[in-house]
């Protein structure tokens, strides 16, 4: 079931540097939500706060009303959160199938001791996970690559492998960190169609950090624009692209005045 996400006055300070300042917004279940802004706006830092990689200095982050601020990434995965990274974190010498299967490890019964002892229940679960991963790859059109080392694939396919690995955890909230980075125009269009299909086939909430406004416009229901760690505006992608404050943040005040 798709999850809601709420942030209330989230602050993140590193020493005297204020990376995020009083960021608040709410994401309804089942929508595709965009987080945009110029370089250095704090987008990935905010993702790291939501996913437990950073601990905010203050504020509140809730998933389906449950406070998760300061929770560890492993615990958040068990609560239904999954994420991808701007630079895919894959095991390049392992096969595509082995990489995707890693996304389901939190669904295995027991814990590290049970997994190490290879109990029968763990073996059965792992076989089921392998079958599920193969079906995901087949539906994604990547079945042909299942047994190839990830290192033999293109950067664009690396993005796809990481996405399907995240989906194997059966998330209710999926965070995509700059999924279009390094992709060709054709690959971006394919990725847009893939995310639309995921939205149709899975009951899931998706939050995307992205610079590619074509992707944001094609996919998102609403966006929040960050600038220098603060929320600048919230609305549709079209409203953001026509907002003078957003234009100034992206291209600078002098250039915005000249364009006007």
Domain ranges of the chain: 5-80+171-259
Mean pLDDT of 110-117: 56
The tens digit of pLDDT for each residue in 18-55 reads 999 999 999 999 999 999 998 889 999 999 999 999 99
The tens digit of pLDDT for each residue in 49-78 reads 999 999 999 999 999 999 999 888 888 988
DSSP labels, 98-137: HHHHGGGGGGSSS-HHHHHHT-HHHHHHHHHHHHHHHHHH
8 A C-beta contact, residue 135 and residue 201? no
- Please tell me which of 21-35, 90-104, 184-198 the model is most confident about, judged by mean pLDDT: 21-35
What superfamily would CATH give domain 5-80+171-259? Answer: P-loop containing nucleotide triphosphate hydrolases (3.40.50.300)
pTM score: 0.88
User: Residue 150: is its pLDDT beyond 50?
Assistant: yes
Contacts of 39 (CB under 8 A, 6+ apart): none
Q: How confident is the model at residue 258, as a pLDDT?
A: 43
């Amino acid at each position: 079931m798709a999850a809601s996400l709420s942030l209330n006055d989230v602050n993140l300070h590193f020493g005297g540097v204020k990376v995020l300042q009083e960021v608040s917004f709410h994401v309804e279940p089942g929508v595709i939500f965009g987080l945009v802004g110029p370089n250095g706006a704090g987008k990935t830092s905010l993702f790291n706060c939501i996913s437990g990689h950073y601990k905010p200095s203050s504020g509140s982050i809730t998933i389906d009303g449950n406070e998760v601020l300061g929770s560890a990434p492993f615990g958040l995965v068990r609560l239904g959160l999954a994420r991808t990274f701007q630079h895919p974190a894959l095991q390049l010498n392992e096969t595509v199938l082995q990489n995707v299967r890693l996304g389901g490890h939190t669904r295995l019964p027991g814990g590290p001791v049970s997994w190490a002892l290879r109990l029968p229940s763990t073996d059965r679960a792992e076989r089921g996970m392998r079958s599920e991963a193969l079906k995901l790859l087949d539906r994604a059109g990547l079945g042909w690559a299942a047994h190839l080392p990830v290192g033999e694939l293109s950067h664009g396919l690396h993005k796809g492998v990481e996405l399907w690995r995240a989906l194997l955890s059966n998330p209710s909230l999926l965070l995509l960190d700059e999924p279009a980075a390094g992709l060709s125009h054709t690959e971006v269009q394919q990725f847009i169609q893939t995310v639309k299909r995921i939205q149709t086939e899975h009951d899931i909430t998706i939050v995307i950090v992205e610079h590619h406004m074509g992707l944001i416009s094609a996919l998102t229901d609403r966006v929040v624009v960050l600038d220098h760690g603060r929320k600048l505006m919230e609305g549709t992608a079209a409203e953001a692209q026509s907002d003078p404050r957003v234009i100034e943040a992206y291209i600078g005040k002098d250039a915005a005045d000249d364009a006007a």
